[in-house]
Structure 1
Amino acid sequence: MAVQRPDMTASTRSLLSMSDENKSLLQTYGQKIFVKYLAPGAQFHVGEDMVVDLSIVQQDIYNGGEAALHAFDQVSRNVKQHLMVSFPTFRTTDLYTDMMQSVDRSLLPLDAILLNRLFCNFFWLFLFQHQYHNEVALYMEIQYDFKRLYRQYADTKLPRKQRQKLGSKASQMLKYIRLKYFDGNDDMENLESSVTNAYARLHKEQETIIEKLDENYEELYFRFIASPAYAEFVLYPRSNSDDSINRLSELLIHYGLRAHSPENTEVKLPLRLTDVPKSKSWIYSVVSFESVFHAQNQNFELQWISYDEHMDLDQTIESFLVPWCKDSTQCVVVSDSTPQPIAFNTRALTGEVELFGAVLTLFKPCQGDLNDGSSYYIPYGVAVFSKYPLYNVIRDRLSEVYKAITHLSLSSSFHLDEAVVSTISRPVIDVVPTSIPSLEPIGFSMHLLFDTLDVSNLLTVFTGVLLECRILLISSQYTVLALVAETLRTLISPLTWPHVYVPVLPGRMLDYLQCPTPFLFGVQKDLLDENLLSELGDEVLCVDLDTSMVVQGEIPVALPTPVWKRLHSTLRSCLKPNVTHSDHVFGDTFDRQPYLFPEVRIRLAFQEAVEMLIGMGDHDDGADVHFGRFRYLWDDQYQDIVVFFDEAGYLALSPLSMRPFRTSFISTQAFSEYIVARDGFTQD
């Protein structure tokens, strides 16, 4: 049984998906650098104070892949910081003077770079390796974003309401600048209180930045014009094109950065329950279905009818109506007695529309002329689908019409009458909001996840979802599959699951389990066998919800110890209050109250955990980074805006306990989508 444990080492860092040959190359080059500069007695040893822990560097090189790629990040930063401190002294030497006089060079004024937005972008990119990038980023935010907005705001000819709107937008931008660049600076505490005063203060800040750059500008400039950043600037197209975006992405990688393009990270989120219309339009489709026997071919085919204007349901919808059926021509159950009716939740797609639904299935004896003498029972029933995740409401509506449906089954052909359809599709009463505004209301209870998994295994699966593993949920109950998967998808908020998601995978679609990309599938236990599970191997995290076990597969890295302990403690306190409070002085006098599932508290605990993993600054457990301070926008007015992230700086300044997890986490699509959509300072 694979159980997540909180203790970790740097060797648990995950690897990028790359070929064995590339991993081997990284190991080879890493070892050469180590021997030449870091090993005791090295020919060009950089100094013992430049290296924090040689064993960690060696282990990362041995692991290869992304671990090797980042093995020297901290050493590199230490060396650069040392050189920055010692360089002014070197400039006073005769060697430096002779070196500068021996070369005839023309110098482009600093203003010529800073006041050309495209040129400044490439210069800024180059400065990442020289630790001046943050100052230039601030300069550009002031020059090209805030000052542009201020000029519009200062136009007294504009209508009052328009100026107020611009002033509000400028204040929001000032708040972002203050939190990102001046955290802890008391002089900037009230920056956004006056837009006009802020303009003067930020202009002075720009002058300070220019003075700082001027000190080393000559050296920086001549390195810049010999760099890949300058070469790309010269060739950069002054029009929008896919090729330029690809070239920019390659250049960013050269400087240890990763591009995140907004149009490549759009994910359609489920519609919010607070937007459910107060009319019958909350229903997407009501469907009746029945298996029909064809004596000529001796087969059973499912037929279905939609009772509303949405006749665009995919034919694949029938697979979700009878998910146990592997053969579309044999939609029938062989049994000694009439099978019991079942009702279950499901989720399906029709085109690009996500549908949340419930299916009520009954069985009746087949009246056809069969040749083998077996007892056949054909399925029939009703399904309801909505674009809103109203799982409980849909199930309740099917329960209301259950008796009416059983009476309708007496006819030779199963159809719903208008009264049944009207009962199902009547408007939904107001959705009750949660007591915490930051939590969206959900249309189902989350308790099934906690009923089926113990806390340790639950955290293992939660980690697998965050790291976008291939995950297979297994249960004998379809509703358990649907609601457990939906709960997992909810608990990673504010992140979203961006990959294939089929919580109740029909028997006809079992080949989807061979999908090479991340997925979250649920499969009814009877559809699986040992051979199929064996084919999946350890690359798929298989979770048996009936036995509360992770039956095979592993997660690449565990949750950081502080996060694991905090979540584990909170969940035990929420789910087992009589255990955790048993040693209280008056514990034996506590009345055992009826158990109410603490949904809000649990959701807040997971939300807090996800935000700690992303990095939102200091928290109760100690100091930490804020992801927003490593997030930058590339806006050259020619291409679409691109977000890029300083992964090396983010990891280097992260607490040691967070680094192994974050090394894998920053490579996920969910993280990419998050940093594209949020700057970390102005959005709720």
Structure 2
Amino acid sequence: LISEQNAAFVPLERFLLNPRAAHYFLLFLMQQRQHFELYFWLHVEYVLKKYATTDKALFWTLTFDLIKKAEADSAAIQASTKAGLKQAMKTQSLEDALSMFAVAQQEICLVLNASWYERFVKSPLYSLALSDRGAKTLLDSDSEDDDEDDGPSLRDSFSEYDSIADIPTGERPLLVHHVESEDSDSDLDDGKPMKLNLESIIRSTTLPEGLQVHYRPNYPIQPMVLREDECPVIDAIVLFKTIFTESGPRLELSYVRKDQAPRESPSAETQRKISELAKRIQPYFVPHGRFVSSQKDPDALFPFVVIQNGELGTLYGMCYTSYIEFTEGEFIAQGMGVVSPYPLVDGLRAIVSHHVLNAVDPLSPDVVRPLYNVPAPSPTSAPLNTSSSSKQKVPSRRNSGTLLDLPPPPRIDFSLSILFANLSTAVVLEVVANALLEHSIILLSSSMTALTVSAEAIRCLLNPFSWCHIYIPLLPKALLSYLHCPTPILVGIHQSCATRDDLPIPSPSTCAVIVDLDRGTIEYLGSRKLQWPTMGLQDDATTPIALVQSFESAKAKLDELFHPSCINLDDLAPPSRISPLPSSFPEATVRSIFHRLISDLLYDHSAACLVVGDAEESVIIFDELKFTCQRPPHEGPFIECLIRTQC
């Protein structure tokens, strides 16, 4: 067993040539927040040198980012070397760039040898690196003469500290445990190159507070996109009708098969899938639970979304409900529901609405069955062009950074107009801010369509972030227990389904907001809340989290778009009180404003990100302190909450 007392000394230059061992040294430096120099060395050696021959475009992209970071964060690289790197970048000379990178690596090694490597050799992480099977070649001699030339294999003393116990507590690495790769034995035996396996190295220690580790997902990410072809989009059609049982009224479901006369009976697996589908979507057909009514309620057509784990994944549905007379003075609910694996709202509404209005018997299985072959209409929105918004002038207080190049928002199949028709621009922005901070959001309305479309609009405006917690835009009465879920929720409740007693009671460290779409108001539950720093009565008692300047800029743009006659009313020559309003809802402009808002919130975040690893495997180390220190002090609380979310 190798310990700090009997660990053999390995020169720095040789130690760094083993990528797995070198990353133990990097973790040690991260604990001291002195890691950039070694990060630069490793990034050049194990990432840039490979891409220099395999992907030159990516090489220059990564080189630009690394040179920019080094300009601000590296004290070891000399000014002349930095200038040489900039010149190589300007001329796109690969040979000059690699030559200057080699010089920078030498300068970094000189600094590390003179200071931090001595401390690392006395640390438990150094012993752990030598014990690591992936780094075992560190102790292998290059030749038979190495043992004679190198002298004793054990190092008796070190420059500053005699033992690990003498290292100040603040500098001593916190050793947790070492996790060996399960396939390390096979990799070594087969002669294959050892995988870096960064996760096992990172788990060997504890990083200081403020350094976040973000692993790449080990599953394929398949974003939901609209169909661009003429293929059918409806995956299942279910008819339902109220029946009476001993336990009371309930819905009886009938699955409509795609083939009128199937050649063979469905298999047990098919029956299981149909049963699972029915169980998932049944609560959404009559979400308020009113199976029987004393009067004939008007026909209703409303969307719903079911997001759960499992093979069925996310389902978008459209439900048509009608009440028919069962006995005198008693009406029962019946109708149909269609579901699709594609994010369709207006498309499904158009299909079902056209069917109900034109069919003689719209709830007959034979009449409904042709809907399986109907393609979706064109999406509501066209692809959003953000090139114009990305060229807008950046605020002067951030003239040293870079604006994040976010991907354009995807196409959607619904309009944002319903959300903005029910809420003011300030309330919409405040709701989006709460969603960004992963506060629970409960929408309330008398319209089931308004609930689903508004929830979808909120999710849309978060792009490229995504809401990764419980999401039920139309919460059925039977599922009201979800309101008390300990994790954040984004749900919509019909006003007839719940009372104030059903609402959750958040803890002091959490927040929940009630958004009344009918009244256009927002109400906070609990003591934690967001606050506009320049609007409304300031509440100093509960020390609310102030919205950052980016939200004020977005509000000004939205007000100029929707309420031009109410701007600058105190000016000597105010604008005309009769200002033209958009003839149609400006979907693209609104989405561009929110796209710019998110981009501004993440402004220059790349300066606080380090992609650690090699060309095959990497993790992202995000420095919270470095990111927040770029912001004005009054924006700190909001930004700190934002970067600790799971969006």
Q: Same fold (TM over 0.5)?
A: yes
Aligned to 2:280: 316
Deviation at 1:298, TM superposition (A): 5.3
Letter of the aligned partner of 1:240 in structure 2?
A: S
CA separation of 1:589 and 1:542: change in aligned 2, threshold 3 A = closer
Which among 366, 373, 382 is matched to residue 433 of structure 1?
A: 382
Whole-Å separation in 2 of the counterparts to 1:255 and 1:551: 34
Whole-Å separation in 2 of the counterparts to 1:297 and 1:514: 27
Q: Does 1:669 align with 2:646?
A: yes
CA separation of 1:353 and 1:191: change in aligned 2, threshold 3 A = farther
Aligned to 1:513: 483
Give 3-state SS (helix, strand or coil) of 2:301's partner: strand
Whole-Å separation in 1 of the counterparts to 2:430 and 2:320: 33
Aligned to 1:542: 514
Moved more, 132-141 or 518-527: 132-141
Q: Does 1:633 align with 2:611?
A: yes
Unaligned runs of 5+ in 1: 1-104, 154-165, 326-330, 368-373, 617-625, 671-684
Whole-Å separation in 2 of the counterparts to 1:541 and 1:353: 28
Contact 2:344 2:413 survives alignment (8 Å): yes
Whole-Å separation in 2 of the counterparts to 1:495 and 1:354: 18
Aligned to 1:225: 121
Whole-Å separation in 2 of the counterparts to 1:249 and 1:255: 15
Question: What value does the CA root-mean-square deviation take over the aligned residues?
Answer: 3.5
Map 1:367-382 → 2, pairs under 5 A: 367=327, 375-382=329-336
Whole-Å separation in 2 of the counterparts to 1:591 and 1:464: 32
Give CA deviations for 1:630-656 in whole Å, capped at 9, x if unaligned.
22234379x963322122222234432
Whole-Å separation in 2 of the counterparts to 1:589 and 1:500: 44
Letter of the aligned partner of 1:319 in structure 2?
A: P
Unaligned runs of 5+ in 2: 1-6, 74-81, 135-179, 184-196, 260-269, 387-407, 531-543
Deviation at 1:249, TM superposition (A): 4.2
Deviation at 1:106, TM superposition (A): 9.0
Contact 2:43 2:613 survives alignment (8 Å): no
Whole-Å separation in 1 of the counterparts to 2:204 and 2:488: 25
Whole-Å separation in 1 of the counterparts to 2:8 and 2:237: 76
Deviation at 1:344, TM superposition (A): 0.9
Contact 1:293 1:366 survives alignment (8 Å): no
Aligned to 1:386: 340
Aligned to 1:112: 14
Q: Does 1:491 align with 2:461?
A: yes
Deviation at 1:201, TM superposition (A): 2.2
Deviation at 1:213, TM superposition (A): 4.0
Considering Cα pairs closer than 8 Å and 6+ residues apart, tell me whether 1 or 2 has the greater RCO.
1
Q: Does 1:399 align with 2:353?
A: yes
CA separation of 1:219 and 1:646: change in aligned 2, threshold 3 A = same
Which among 81, 90, 97 is matched to residue 201 of structure 1?
A: 97
Q: Does 1:123 align with 2:25?
A: yes
Letter of the aligned partner of 1:544 in structure 2?
A: D
Aligned to 2:393: none
CA separation of 1:572 and 1:511: change in aligned 2, threshold 3 A = same
Aligned to 1:99: none
Deviation at 1:483, TM superposition (A): 0.8
Moved more, 657-666 or 503-512: 657-666
Map 1:301-450 → 2, pairs under 5 A: 301-308=251-258, 312=274, 313-325=277-289, 332-335=291-294, 337-349=295-307, 351=310, 352-367=312-327, 375-404=329-358, 407-408=360-361, 414-418=363-367, 420-423=368-371, 425-431=373-379, 433-436=382-385, 438-450=408-420
Aligned to 1:299: 249
Whole-Å separation in 2 of the counterparts to 1:259 and 1:129: 13
Q: Does 1:646 align with 2:623?
A: yes
Deviation at 1:569, TM superposition (A): 0.8
Aligned to 1:290: 241
Letter of the aligned partner of 2:37 in structure 1?
A: E
Deviation at 1:268, TM superposition (A): 5.1
CA separation of 1:199 and 1:465: change in aligned 2, threshold 3 A = farther
Give CA deviations for 1:612-641 in whole Å, capped at 9, x if unaligned.
212x3xxxxxxxxx222222234379x963
Aligned to 2:425: 455
Map 1:574-585 → 2, pairs under 5 A: 574-580=561-567
Q: Does 1:573 align with 2:571?
A: no
Whole-Å separation in 1 of the counterparts to 2:111 and 2:89: 31
CA separation of 1:181 and 1:415: change in aligned 2, threshold 3 A = farther
Aligned to 1:24: none
Letter of the aligned partner of 1:346 in structure 2?
A: F
Aligned to 1:8: none
Whole-Å separation in 2 of the counterparts to 1:212 and 1:396: 64
Letter of the aligned partner of 1:555 in structure 2?
A: K
Aligned to 1:464: 434
CA separation of 1:236 and 1:276: change in aligned 2, threshold 3 A = farther
Contact 1:446 1:484 survives alignment (8 Å): yes
Deviation at 1:509, TM superposition (A): 0.8
Q: Does 1:278 align with 2:230?
A: yes
Deviation at 1:192, TM superposition (A): 5.8
Aligned to 1:15: none
Whole-Å separation in 2 of the counterparts to 1:265 and 1:669: 17
Give 3-state SS (helix, strand or coil) of 2:252's partner: strand
Q: What is the TM-score of this pair, normalised by structure 2?
A: 0.72
Contact 2:463 2:595 survives alignment (8 Å): yes
Aligned to 1:17: none
Deviation at 1:511, TM superposition (A): 0.9
Contact 1:261 1:642 survives alignment (8 Å): yes
Give 3-state SS (helix, strand or coil) of 1:316's partner: helix
Give CA deviations for 1:381-405 in whole Å, capped at 9, x if unaligned.
1222222222111111222122345
Deviation at 1:488, TM superposition (A): 0.6
Whole-Å separation in 2 of the counterparts to 1:237 and 1:258: 27
Give 3-state SS (helix, strand or coil) of 1:263's partner: coil
Letter of the aligned partner of 1:279 in structure 2?
A: C
Whole-Å separation in 2 of the counterparts to 1:204 and 1:192: 11
Contact 1:463 1:558 survives alignment (8 Å): no
Give CA deviations for 1:573-592 in whole Å, capped at 9, x if unaligned.
12212323777969549674
Letter of the aligned partner of 2:293 in structure 1?
A: V
Whole-Å separation in 1 of the counterparts to 2:239 and 2:31: 64
Whole-Å separation in 1 of the counterparts to 2:634 and 2:322: 54
Give CA deviations for 1:201-260 in whole Å, capped at 9, x if unaligned.
233233234324414623312211233543543455645359983772472434752222
Whole-Å separation in 2 of the counterparts to 1:141 and 1:301: 61
Whole-Å separation in 1 of the counterparts to 2:220 and 2:125: 29
Contact 2:322 2:333 survives alignment (8 Å): yes
Contact 1:345 1:479 survives alignment (8 Å): yes
Whole-Å separation in 2 of the counterparts to 1:522 and 1:174: 47
Deviation at 1:171, TM superposition (A): 4.2
Letter of the aligned partner of 1:114 in structure 2?
A: L
Which among 17, 32, 40 is matched to residue 138 of structure 1?
A: 40
Higher helix share: 1
